[in-house]
Structure 1
Amino acid sequence: MAQAARHSSFLHKLSRHDVALDLGTANTLIYTADEGIVLDQPSVVCFERGGALGKAGETTVAAVGRDAKALVGRAPQNLETVKPLLHGVIADFSAAEHMMRRFVAMAQPRRLFGRRPAFTVCVPGAATRVERRAIREAAFSAGAASVNLIGESLAAALGAGLPVGSSTGSMVVDIGGGTTEVGVIALGAVACSGSIRVGGDQFDRAIIDYVRGLYGVIIGDQTAEHLKKTIGSALRGEPIERLRATGRSLDDGLPRTVEVTSEDIADALAMPLRQVIGVVRQVFETAPPELVTDIADTGIVLTGGGALLGRLDQCLQAELGVRVRIADEPLSCAVRGAGAAAAGAVEAGQPDFHGHD
């Protein structure tokens, strides 16, 4: 009972934050208690050449978010597009700082709260202390009055409406742009977890490689993402969908259009999906038997943008023998979960909340 009370107190303290931020490899989302999700933009920033990146006063930000993503693969020579995050953590600190600063200004939390906001930021469970420190420093540079971190799995479980404070175990599989996080949640904390650096970006790369090998055509990242979102499937089978895609021919370098099918996408994604299934199996192997029994009864919940891949729930259910369902609005589960904790300030000196530390 004392342990349950401590976890309940922990969740109550989390609930007093101002702004929740999911700084993802593919998308960044910002949530406020008053208005819900106030920003949902691709995690891309575009710089104008002419100054050394990372040096104060010499970097000019030309675009961020959707405007910057539209320039990926199309930017003229005087512009450089950068994705500051890799596998859910900051790979380019200067770019991340500039991007976050612009996003916070776009969300206008100061207008909403009349002061500098406190941030709760989602982080991958496998993030190192150095990586977590980089996220905190970037958030402070973006204008946060204080910064607290919450593990991605715990935030996703909260956002999916799972009974995280209960002694009954729940499993969440959060498939983001660069990582897949698997967490078993009980008594307000992550009882056991696993992580693999495979997500939506790796799905796109697998599609690019497959189309190149099968059709002899090189397609771009955005074309691969469009194929995945439009006709993507985790399983072969009827009905078969088709979509035309144009790229550069390996034979002569000229434009060439090919017809890609949903079965092509399923074949392309077979390997990365095996890796995702593998990490889920590993978590089952390390979880206490009582919690495994709970999950057998309650099932697995999918969150993150990767959960939107066609027939993914059926694929995992067939492989794992456990009922699988997709959370409502899976892309925003993590930020809404952190946002469920975003009603007030965390006490001074409060440690980072990762759910497993």
Structure 2
Amino acid sequence: MLSTSIGIDLGTASVLVYIRGKGIVMREPSVVAINSNEDNQVVAVGEEARRMIGRTPSNIRAIRPLRDGVISDYQYTEKMLKYFIQRAIGRRFLKPVIAVCVPSGVTDVEKKAVMDATYQAGAREVHIIEEPIAAAIGAGIDISKPVGSMVVDIGGGTCDIAVISLGGIVVSDSIKVAGDRFDEAIVRFMRKRYNLLIGERTAEDVKIAIGSAYSFDEKRTMDVRGRNLVSGLPVNQPVTSDDIRDAMQEPISAVVEAIHGVLERTPPELAADIYERGIIMTGGGSLLTGLDRLIQDNMGLDVFVAEDAISCVAIGTGRFVEHLNGDGHFQINH
């Protein structure tokens, strides 16, 4: 039997698993479905559980055990992790060495909860890595150099902004405004503007299809299905990309302000590096149409979306595991 090393991007919206030598082997939503009639027994995990959201009988609940980038339900986070680890490596291996990433702003208590859940899920050794560091490594930045790099990682629960130099975070901020808040803003907007009740899954579909952060000449329209709050009947409501941009104005502004705040606190030499190198964006939220252009206009800096933005944190966590030396320290071979 062999031991293996795993990197896990334990995200609010999805969990990605990276296995040493294989790359990303799993990408599943962070959702667990439980049956309250049978002592809250887990009936489905991941994509299968996500399909149940908003469509289950009263005894089955689809829950997300992580909220705003941290564990909100310890028991089900542990069960979800165990399920994903076993599915990824099978039972042929000894207990694996696991690196898990967390948002840069988490407390020691929250870090310990992630470590404990990972040990309970079957890890032999656990390393915690901060999300911006993992995102930078995954985006191909050499973090070991004495050069300032700025990373903005927008996930489902948190937006992590950090200036990195010499392998460490110099200035950072983590705000609980990201993809989920964009979805919630769309749900509120549809209720207020059109008296239409929609679920978060529908809101996410609308955001991906016609959502944008920047005003473009081309206006797109989409039919949104939901329940009319006045008649109580299902209806189809056409909405435009301008509507959805207005809906997301508040959370988008919060992200832009947080980036501005980190730049204001950046030491001058590193600020000069960032002016030269620009800002790298990672995470699923960075794929929102026009968000890079909006930040570019507001900051007066070049903004680049990383090549595989959604997978950057998982790839970085995996590379972290691959470069751990015998005493558990991270090293990059030049």
On whether the aligned pair clears a TM of 0.5, the verdict is yes
Q: Give distance in 1, aligned partners of 2:281 and 2:226.
A: 33
Deviation at 1:346, TM superposition (A): 5.8
* Structure 2: stretches of 5+ with no match in the other structure: none
**Which position in structure 1 is the counterpart of 2:35?**
48
Alignment-derived partner of residue 248 in structure 1? 227
* Equivalent residues of 1:235, 1:263 under 8 A apart: no
Per-residue deviation, residues 207-227 of structure 1 (Å, max 9, x unmatched)? 111111111111111100000
Secondary structure at 1:342's aligned position in 2? helix
Q: 1:229 maps to what in 2?
A: 208
Alignment-derived partner of residue 53 in structure 2: 72
Q: Which deviates more, 206-215 or 22-31?
A: 206-215
TM-score by structure 2 length? 0.95
Q: Separation in 2 of the partners of 1:347 and 1:239?
A: 55
Paired residue type of 2:33: C
Q: Which residue in the other structure is 1:10 paired with?
A: none
Query: 2:26 maps to which residue?
Result: 39
1-structure distance, mates of 2:324, 2:137: 19
Contact 1:18–1:344 (CA under 8 A) maintained in structure 2: no
Aligned residues: 328
1:311 aligns with 2:275: no
Q: Is the 8 A contact 1:110 1:117 kept in 2?
A: no
* Offset at residue 163 of structure 1 (A): 2.2
- Code of the aligned partner of 1:34: G
Equivalent residue in structure 2 for 1:188, among 150, 158, 167: 167
Relative to the length of structure 1, the TM-score reads 0.89
Highest RCO, 1 vs 2 (Cα 8 Å, sep ≥ 6): 1
> Match for residue 335 of structure 1?
314
Task: Tell me which of 114, 119, 123 is aligned to 2:98.
Answer: 119
Q: Hey, what does 2:249 align to over in structure 1? A: 270
Per-residue displacement from partner, 1:188-209 (whole Å, max 9, x unpaired)? 1111101110010000000111
CA, structure 1 residues 31+147, in 2 after alignment: closer, same or farther (shift >3 Å)?
same
* Deviation at residue 46 of structure 1 after TM alignment: 0.3
Instruction: Note if 1:142 corresponds to 2:125.
Output: no
In 2 relative to 1, CA 191–345 (structure 1 residues): closer, same or farther, beyond 3 Å?
A: closer
Could you say which residue in structure 2 is the equivalent of 1:13?
none
Residues 186 and 109 of structure 1: is their aligned pair in 2 closer, same or farther, counting only changes over 3 Å? farther
Percentage of pairs with the same residue: 42
1:229, distance to aligned residue in structure 2 (A)? 0.9
Mapped to 1, the partners of 2:98 and 2:308 lie a distance apart of 22
Cα deviation for residue 236 of structure 1 reads 2.1
- Call closer, same or farther: CA 1:293–1:109 in 2, change over 3 Å: farther
SS in 2 for 1:149: strand
Taking the aligned partners of 1:208 and 1:235, their CA distance within structure 2 comes to 20
- Matches of 2:234 and 2:259, distance apart in 1: 41
Question: In 2, Cα distance between the equivalents of 1:82 and 1:265?
Answer: 26
- Unpaired runs of 5+ residues, structure 1, are 1-16, 52-57
d(CA) in 2 for partners of 1:91, 1:337: 25
